[in-house]
Amino acid sequence: MPAPTWFPTWGDRIMPPTLTLPAEHSMGVWLPNKSFSEQSATVQINLESAGYVEWDPAQECFSVSNRNLIRLANNLLRRFPLVAVGREYNSEERCTASCQNAKGHLCTCSCQALHHGKGKWMSGWQIAERQTSQVGGNKWSWLLVRQG
């Protein structure tokens, strides 16, 4: 199953599993080199029965609850060397103390979540690469992460 057309490429790297956090929708999930049914089953297994998995035709990927980002990313990092994490952000939204001292992983401010909760939401990850993109007028920050 091909990668969604709006996902970034990572040079000559093979497309990694990709998780997306839109500002106002559920998290998107796409896995490389797997059929539709294999992706659905793999996502469900890696969610550890912590939520639903639905196909989102508009986003061209599976959709799961945002609360599962850390669990799903960490489980995928045990199986894959790299995982891409994309976040929609607002360059006009200032990064303030409320972001920098926040708990959890949901952030849409201009820091692109790098300073969110002092970065603790990324505990155990190393950033291998970063990039930004614009999709349909929305700004996205992309991190390629590995266990670290």
Q: What is the pLDDT of residues 119-145, one digit of tens each?
A: 888 999 999 999 999 998 999 999 999
Range of the domain at 72: 18-89+123-147
Q: How far apart are CA 67 and CA 43, in angstroms?
A: 14
Q: How far apart are CA 103 and CA 14, in angstroms?
A: 33
Residue 104 inside a domain? The answer is no
Q: What digits encode the pLDDT tens for the residues 20-53?
A: 999 888 999 999 999 999 999 989 888 876 678 8
Residue 114 inside a domain? The answer is no
Decide the pairing of beta strands 61-64 and 27-30.
antiparallel
Residue 65 inside a domain? The answer is yes
Q: How many domains is the chain partitioned into structurally?
A: 1
Residue 75 inside a domain? The answer is yes
Q: How many Cα atoms are found within 13 Å in the side-chain-facing hemisphere of 97?
A: 0
CB 10 within 8 A of CB 129: yes
Residue 4 inside a domain? The answer is no
Residue 43 inside a domain? The answer is yes
pTM equals: 0.92
Residue 67 inside a domain? The answer is yes
Residue 23 inside a domain? The answer is yes
Q: How far apart are CA 138 and CA 132, in angstroms?
A: 11
